[in-house]
Amino acid sequence: MTRKKELIRLLTLLAVSLGAACLIVFFMVRSGSLRGQTIERILLSPRLIEAVKTRSEQEKNVPLRFGGIEFSFFDDKSQSQRTVSVDQATYQTFYNAISHLSETTEPPPEVVHAFSRGKRAVLTLRMALQDDKKGFQPFEQRVEWSLEEPDWFRVDVGEKGEAPLFVWFYDKGSYTQTLSLFTSF
C-alpha cells in the first residue's frame, strides 16, 4: 500500500472516529449518562485539532478539515461585540486550565435565564467533515459564558441544525481568565 493510501485510510479512520465520538457524547448527554464527565472528554482537544490541521495542510483529499478558532466577546471599551482569532497555543493554554473540570448538575434557573437574555462571550471551534454527496459539511463546537453569570459556562454538544444541547460547568473566575487570555494583544 502506498503512503498516500495509508494516509487517506488513517484520515478516514480519524474522521469516522470523531463522528462516532460526537454521536456518543450526544446520546450520552441526552440519556443523562454523561453527568460528572470532565470537559476533556467533551471539548475538542488541542492534540486532535493539531493532527487534523497538519493533515489538511499536507494532503488535499482529507475527510476532515480544521476551520479555525474564534472568541467573540463584548468589549467594554468600545461598547460593542468583537471577535478575535485564537491560535492553537493559546487554545492549548485555555484547554489545560479547564480540562480538569467536571460537569455540574443543572444550573439554577436564574443562570439559565441569564444565558438567554444577556450578553454572552463565545469560543467557537470550527471543523468540516467530508460528505461524498455534499462536499465538506461544516460543524462547530461552542463554549459560551453569560456576562451576567460569568462563573458559569456551557458547551454545546448538540448536532448542527437541531436545538442546542448544553453541558454545564461552574468555575469561579473562568470568564475573567478566559477574556484575559484571548484578548491579551
85: confidence class by pLDDT, cuts 50, 70, 90 = very high
What pLDDT, on the 0 to 100 scale, is given for residue 24?
52
* pLDDT value of residue 21: 52
pLDDT in tens, 41-70: 889 999 988 888 887 777 777 777 888 999
Starting at the earlier edge strand, list the strands of the sheet with 152-156: 80-85, 64-75, 120-131, 135-146, 152-156, 166-170
Containing structural domain, residue 85? 3-182
Q: What is the model's pLDDT at position 142?
A: 93
Please compute the mean of the pLDDT values over residues 102-107 and round it to a whole number. Answer: 87
Q: For residue 175, give the C-alpha cell.
A: 470568564
Quick one: pLDDT at residue 93? Answer: 96
pTM: 0.76
63 vs 101: CA distance, rounded Å: 31
Domain count, the chain: 1
Percent of the chain whose pLDDT exceeds 90: 43
Q: What is the pLDDT of residue 18?
A: 53
